[in-house]
Amino acid sequence: MRSLPITISLPLLLTACVSNPLHESAADPQACKANPLAVQVMGSGGPIADDDRAGAGNIVWIDGKARVIVDTGPGSFLRHAEAGVEFQDPYVILLTHLHGDHAGGLPGLLNNGSFSGRKDPLIIAGPDGSENLPATSEFLDALIGAQGAFPYLSSYLDDAGPLPKITVRNINTRRDDVQAVSGLTDVTIEAISVHHLEVPSLAYVIRTKGKRLLFSGDQSFLSTGFVEATRNSKPDLMFMHNAISMADGQPRGLHRDGRSMGEAAASAGTKKLVLTHHMQRALDD
Ligand SMILES: [Zn+2]
């Protein structure tokens, strides 16, 4: 039962309900989409395959459609099928950063999409690059560009060809302010740069139906700009990535420990905090 996605529904009421997939009555991974607004966790794992969690990924369901995808970790292909995600539905795929446990499932989803008959364009947004890491556009080129690893999917990136057009947005990770990603008719998306050692990384704020969802991504205690930008913003749901303790011998500057996550959530005035991106060494702590 642990392999099922976790359903967190946000009915248009004051309280969010959290269904526990370990409980028999919540065993239907396709129940989530029946809510007018819901977030469904596709993968709650981290980079180490030490249990049966898929890599990081979340879906925002709006009126029965999987409109926003946040991260596409390994295992996304299976989880999207279990949850009933249709490739025609997303407006945008948001990548928090280009580590394999967050973006490694993207080629499989795009390959799947080539069978979908989708005509509408799709936005993929993610961080700009650095000296050592590619920008999101370079990442897509390396995967599905004409000179990339899967060139048969390259018509996603050009105007000709049968596949729907993907518009790639590189978001500036050197800015401290809140940046608009997309102002769709029924959902507003903003990005905030976060500190994740040397990796250009982003948090995302998604606002729809009067609710505010904050996806913090992988971030360390050095993400002071994030704390400033989200102070007292009162997200209805905030997702933080649980990763490591600050015990001796643990790396610094990659992730927050439990205390630091709590402080960031409290500063934002978070109504409900969801911990995800788990590894055994963090869960044991
Ligand atoms: Zn990471």
227-240 burial: b if 16+ Cβ within 10 Å, else e: bebbeeeebbbbbb
Q: Which range (5-19, 33-47, 55-69, 231-245) has the least confidence?
A: 5-19
Q: Which of 20-24, 140-144, 246-250 reaches the highest mean pLDDT?
A: 140-144
- Which class does domain 6-211 fall in? alpha beta
254 three-state secondary structure: coil
Quick one: pLDDT at residue 1? 39
pLDDT at 159: 84
Specify whether the backbone of 225 is left (phi greater than 0), alpha (psi in -120 to 50) or beta: alpha
Q: Which of 22-26, 102-106, 184-188, 211-215 has the lowest mean pLDDT?
A: 22-26
What pLDDT shows up at residue 15?
A: 30
CA of 196 to the centre of ligand 1 (A): 7
Mean pLDDT of the chain, nearest integer: 89
Contact 111, 148 (CB under 8 A): no
Residues found in the chain: 285
What pLDDT does 268 receive?
Answer: 97
Distance 252 CA to ligand 1 centre (A): 13
pLDDT at res. 8:
62
Confidence of residue 193 (pLDDT cuts 50, 70, 90): very high
Asked if the model's pLDDT at residue 21 lies above 60, the reply is no
Question: Of 10-14, 47-51, 114-118, 157-161, which gets the smallest average pLDDT?
Answer: 10-14
Compute the distance from residue 9 Cα to the ligand 1 centre, in Å. 26
* 8 Å CB contact between 165 and 238: no
Distance 278 CA to ligand 1 centre (A): 12
| Domain ranges (residues) in the chain | 6-211
Confidence band, pLDDT 50/70/90 cuts, at residue 13: very low
pLDDT band of residue 12 (cuts 50, 70, 90) is very low
Strand segments, DSSP code E, in 44-121 are: 57-62, 65-72, 92-94
Which residues have CB under 8 Å from 120's CB, separation 6+?
88, 164
Going by pLDDT thresholds of 50, 70 and 90, the confidence category of residue 247 is low
Ligand 1 centroid to 173 CA: how many Å?
15
Residue ranges in 75-221 assigned as alpha helix (H)? 76-83, 100-103, 106-113, 136-144
Q: Which two tokens stand for residue 71?
A: 């991260």
What average pLDDT does range 160-177 have in this prediction? 94
* Cα-to-centroid distance, 221 and ligand 1 (Å): 14
Residue with tokens 């959902």: 187
Q: pLDDT tens for residues 90-116? A: 999 999 999 999 999 999 999 999 999
Residues 6+ apart with CB under 8 A from 69: 57, 58, 59, 60, 85, 90, 92, 93, 94
Cα–Cα distances (Å) from 230 to 121, 174, 197, 271, 274, in that order, read: 31, 17, 20, 13, 16
Residue 19's pLDDT band, with cuts at 50, 70 and 90, is very low
Give the Cα separation of 148 and 208 in Å (integer).
Answer: 36
Partner residues linked to 167 by β-bridges: 123
Band (pLDDT 50/70/90 cuts) for residue 49 is: confident
> Six-digit token pair at 99?
């580590």
Mean pLDDT within 192-201: 95
The pLDDT confidence band at residue 160, using thresholds 50, 70 and 90, is: confident
Query: Are the CB atoms for 166 and 107 separated by under 8 Å?
Result: no
State the amino acid at position 48 in one-letter form: I
Residue 2 pLDDT exceeds 70? no
Residue list, CB under 5 A from ion ligand 1: 99, 218
Category of 208 on φ-ψ map: left (φ > 0), alpha (ψ -120 to 50) or beta: beta
Helix (H) or strand (E) holding 261: helix 258-268
